[in-house]
């Protein structure tokens, strides 16, 4: 095997499963933009403050290196004055008490002012994108259930909308991946789009159960849990729809494995009647229970 000179490990979370990608690639400044967008706010904001302070201190040191570069100082520690003058110039504020007094000071202040405008533009753009990015609060049940439905076995996944707004023209898709062995003995994963029943809802507001009938032409037909595990089954469930508030198409997906499959179980009921008022309690969203007979899945609130 060829020696990897710059192998990089990248931790990915796919659904609620984690995987480490090891890849040999060169650093690229273009990667910085998506990295900054993916950072959580708890790391992004301190990073912005740190970058601001680093630039501020760097230019303050340049002013400090020339004693007469800044005029208007009156008895204050010189580096402190240089630091605050740098902060005012970087943010293009300029209060007037301190000012460049030499050609060197004017040149450094001009460069810092330009740097400040660029820094503010970049940070403003990043914050705007982070706020304006569609963030669907669509959740998936932690477990998949397989049980009879209308006399035939069916695979079911419950999906919920946590927002108080609608997801319009919502569609659900399921893609199954099973490991197979070729005639040459090579192992590989085959991908199968699963035919869905009730795969579209015009207004998705509450909860929804996506359902695939395991008929004779289904790739799941005849497989029990042990066989699914032997073939390293993976299921990817995705939902797309138009957010009525953002008026943008949103997409969210979840990945399941054999460990998430539960045969002869059903999702616990979420809806109840409270003196004539329909209530949907998401506290039961992930709950499953043994299947004990017919349950009207079609009555799931949407």
pLDDT tens digits along 213-263: 999 999 999 999 999 999 999 999 999 999 888 788 889 999 999 999 999
Domains of the chain with bracketed CATH: 7-132 (1.10.287.70), 138-299 (2.60.40.1400)
pLDDT of residue 68: 86
6 has pLDDT over 80: no
Strands annotated E in the chain: 7-14, 17-24, 70-71, 99-100, 138-140, 144-149, 152-161, 167-181, 187-194, 200-204, 207-213, 234-243, 248-257, 261-263, 265-267, 271-274, 277-280, 288-290
* Cα(289)–Cα(166) distance, integer angstroms: 29
* Cα(187)–Cα(231) distance, integer angstroms: 10
Mean confidence (pLDDT) of the chain: 86
pLDDT of residue 297: 45
pLDDT band at 299 (very low <50, low <70, confident <90, very high): very low
7 has pLDDT over 80: no
Q: Pairing state of beta strands 144-149 and 261-263? A: parallel
Q: Which residue has the higher pLDDT, 134 or 42?
A: 42
Mean pLDDT along residues 8-26 = 70
Query: By mean pLDDT, which of 68-77, 108-117, 196-205, 215-224 is the weakest?
Result: 68-77
SS3 content of the chain, % helix, strand, coil (to 5): 30, 35, 30
pLDDT of residue 56: 94
Q: Which residue has the higher pLDDT, 78 or 142?
A: 142
pLDDT tens column, 103-143:
999 999 999 999 999 999 999 999 998 888 777 789 999 99
| Tokens representing residue 67 in the block | 């004693």
pLDDT of residue 262: 95
Residues 6+ apart with CB under 8 A from 237: 140, 157, 159, 172, 173, 174, 210, 253, 254, 255, 256
pLDDT of residue 1: 45
16 has pLDDT over 70: no
pLDDT of residue 182: 80
Whether residue 108 contacts residue 59, with contact meaning beta carbons closer than 8 Å, is answered with yes
Dihedral sign, CA of 173, 179, 185, 186? positive
Query: By mean pLDDT, which of 24-38, 170-184, 244-258 is the weakest?
Result: 24-38
pLDDT band at 300 (very low <50, low <70, confident <90, very high): low
């Amino acid at each position: 095997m060829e020696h990897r000179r710059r192998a990089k490990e990248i931790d990915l979370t796919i659904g609620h499963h984690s995987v480490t990608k090891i890849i040999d690639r060169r650093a690229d400044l273009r990667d910085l933009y998506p990295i900054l967008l993916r950072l959580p706010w708890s790391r992004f904001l301190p990073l912005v403050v740190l970058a601001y302070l680093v630039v501020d201190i760097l230019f303050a040191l340049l002013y400090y290196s020339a004693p007469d570069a800044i005029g208007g100082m009156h008895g204050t520690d010189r580096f402190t004055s240089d630091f605050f003058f740098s902060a005012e110039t970087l943010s293009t504020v300029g209060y007037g008490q301190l000012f460049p007094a030499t050609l060197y000071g004017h040149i450094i202040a001009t460069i810092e002012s330009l740097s400040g405008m660029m820094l503010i533009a970049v940070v403003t753009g990043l914050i705007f994108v982070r706020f304006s990015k569609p963030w669907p609060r669509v959740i998936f049940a932690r477990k998949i259930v397989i049980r009879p439905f209308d006399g035939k076995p069916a695979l079911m996944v419950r999906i919920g909308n946590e927002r108080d707004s609608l997801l319009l023209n919502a569609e659900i898709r399921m893609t199954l991946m099973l490991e197979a062995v070729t005639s040459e003995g090579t192992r590989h994963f085959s991908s199968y789009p699963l035919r869905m029943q009730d795969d579209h809802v015009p207004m998705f507001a509450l909860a929804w159960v996506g359902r695939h009938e395991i008929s004779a032409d289904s790739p799941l037909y005849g497989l029990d849990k042990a066989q699914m595990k032997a073939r390293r089954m993976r299921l990817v469930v995705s939902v797309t729809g138009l957010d009525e508030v953002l008026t943008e198409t949103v997409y969210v997906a979840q990945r399941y494995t054999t460990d998430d499959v539960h045969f002869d179980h059903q999702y616990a009921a979420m809806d109840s009647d409270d003196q004539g008022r329909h209530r949907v309690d998401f506290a039961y969203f992930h709950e499953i229970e043994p299947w004990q007979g017919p349950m009207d899945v079609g009555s799931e609130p949407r």
